[in-house]
Amino acid sequence: MAFVGGALADYLDRRLLVRGGEFALAALTAVLLINALSSSPHLWLLYVVAALTATVDGLQRPALEAMVPRLVRPEELPATMALQSLGMQIAQLGGPALAGLLIATIDLAWVYAFDLLTFAVSLTCLTLVRAVPPPPDADRPSLRAVVTGLRYARSRPELLGTYLVDINAMFFGMPQALYPFLATQLGGPRVLGLLYAAPAVGSLLATLGSRWTARVHRHGLMVVIAAALWGVGIIGVGLSNTLWLTLFCLAFAGAADMISGIFRAIIWSQTIPDHLRGRLAGIEMLSYTTGPLLGQLRSGAMARTRLGVTGSIWLGGLLCVAGTAALAVALPRFLRYDGKDGMALKKAADEAWAAAAAARATS
């Protein structure tokens, strides 16, 4: 649904689309509440709600990502990306902890009720945001509009590099599926939560100290360096046999991933024309959602071989570093991307794209 959501985000008022998504998510939470209050709750309904939640997220997320550059000035983008990252990390760390506390102290139905009330906060905040209408000549949602976005992404090495580097890093360096097995070697179930939390802690620390990113202009180079350092951290996780070193390596990897994410977001915000932001945000969403899932599949499959759990992790990290280096060589324009020239590059690329599109239309 990310492709559909991206096309809609370029045709409708983006704030309206995001608010509609929030209403839909609130309605799904209400369904969970009603199910929990039932005398015989249905298990199959949980799966249906999970699938519908993913569908709504695919429709809403591109509009949410695409509206941000319309709300802030270009020079405010690095700070804005850092603030978004900070909110995400606080949610990842605090959300599960709060949910666990509520589940342990009150009835499950009240937990869903509390979740439902939180949508009043998000909807109020969205009401205070100004409208983000589409341009007058916005493309109607269609397969052709989606293909246009894909072609544009392929024509821009700066954008293509952000997608490919992230997918490579996640495919080879995402061993999250192996954390339960790693925990048995490092202290048992009591340390499992620490393994899941460590990357988020690293990401949070990197975000809090990210003021320096506003002074860096070689954004493509920083994405490559950060992705390679993510791989180095994962190698350390695979080679470590002590809990404290494993947690440190996971936190280091999480910090590197957050730095990569900040610079990738800056590149997206600086170089994508507004009339294509929704469709490109849909492609971006696919890159950061499918990569980790495929990475967990890869790590689990390799762990079933003679490599075992730790071998699957450190070899995956090594392949992540090697793949990042290969992509840097294959995409020199991405490696040389300079944020100072980003807007000028976008203008030149847009003019070339428009000329090529016009030539295809007349041929």
DSSP per-residue letters across 138-197: PPPSSHHHHHHHHHHHHH-HHHHHHHHHHHHHHHHH--GGGHHHHHHHHTSGGGHHHHHH
CATH architecture observed for domain 2-130+142-354: Up-down Bundle (1.20)
Q: Between the CA of residue 362 and those of 140, 150, 350, 352, 356, what are the distances in Å?
A: 21, 21, 18, 16, 10
Supply the pLDDT for residue 141: 78
Q: Which residues of the chain have pLDDT under 50?
A: none
**317 within 8 A of 233, measured Cβ to Cβ:** yes
- pTM given for the model: 0.74
Q: What residue ranges do the domains of the chain occupy? A: 2-130+142-354
pLDDT given at position 24: 96
178: its two tokens: 């192996």
Q: According to the model, what pLDDT value does residue 245 have?
A: 95
pLDDT at residue 139 in the model: 75
Tokens matching residue 304? 């079933």
Q: What are phi and psi of 84, to 5 degrees?
A: -60, -45
**pLDDT value of position 316:** 93
Grouping H, G, I as helix, E, B as strand and the rest as coil, residue 244 is: helix
